[in-house]
Structure 1
């Protein structure tokens, strides 16, 4: 299937891929020089990934650590820049190793060009991790 070109539709398509645990297809939504930023990342966690290869490495083992089961309350806001959307949502599931519930609120600012993600700022809250679940979550980025 050819991914959608419009930012809102591309984003929704990406959420379906994440729920399907199809990380390679999700990474294929990225431009080769795409940038993934985490402004609220705690010390020692990546704050910026540059390039599709870095995004792929970061996400490679994600389903082994977090079993996403739903994206609830998805609200996509269009901006004055037709290439950029602001997304509010919750990711719901469980941490694989411990079985602890996972329920994270996200705000993302995503820019798309030529049907590919070029810039993604992910404002997730590391303080909202389940008690004792931080180690499971941290491993999702390869550590």
Structure 2
């Protein structure tokens, strides 16, 4: 019988997969009925439900990701709920096309049950990612179109 991975170990696997560009493998870290809320996502989906939706989203991201992400300053905090951690970290973001580099702050509240992610609330510095790619005007147009 194998030991179930802790929330800390699951988060580290997720972060490693993202920074190593292994997006095709990430969905397997999530439960079939997982929910991911990306609270400050400016134009994309703010809520994804189910492993299949997450797998599709990871494939979309992998197909167009214009930058390399390196994680640093990672702090994982345990909570009074053994299923929940709060992770804080920065991404060193290097945009391949523009050559620009920026730091982007992140916080994730993650619930892991039986070794799989069942829920996350993600708080990422999306504006930093827009700026590093020189895409501010596209963001403004997309936000204007949502009105």
CA contact (8 A) 2:88 2:108 kept: yes
CA contact (8 A) 1:66 1:93 kept: no
- Deviation of 1:46 (Å): 1.0
TM-score (norm 2): 0.79
- Does 2:30 correspond to 1:30? yes
* Residue 3 to residue 66, structure 1, CA distance change in 2 (3 Å): farther
Unaligned runs of 5+ in 2: 140-147
- Deviation of 1:25 (Å): 1.5
Q: CA RMSD in A?
A: 2.3
Mapping for residues 43-122 of structure 1, pairs under 5 Å: 44-63=43-62, 64-122=64-122
Unaligned runs of 5+ in 1: 137-143
* Residue 35 to residue 59, structure 1, CA distance change in 2 (3 Å): same
Separation of aligned partners in 1, 2:107 and 2:124: 7
* Residue 67 to residue 116, structure 1, CA distance change in 2 (3 Å): same
CA contact (8 A) 2:4 2:114 kept: no
Return structure 1 stretches of 4+ with deviation > 6 angstroms. none
CA contact (8 A) 1:3 1:10 kept: no
- SS of the residue 2:121 aligns to: strand
Separation of aligned partners in 2, 1:70 and 1:3: 29
Separation of aligned partners in 2, 1:30 and 1:50: 10
Structure showing greater Rg: 2
* Equivalences, count: 134
CA contact (8 A) 1:100 1:133 kept: no
Separation of aligned partners in 2, 1:99 and 1:11: 29
CA contact (8 A) 1:35 1:120 kept: yes
- Deviation of 1:66 (Å): 4.0
Separation of aligned partners in 1, 2:3 and 2:20: 15
CA contact (8 A) 2:68 2:96 kept: no
Comparing both structures, which one devotes a greater share of its residues to helix? 2
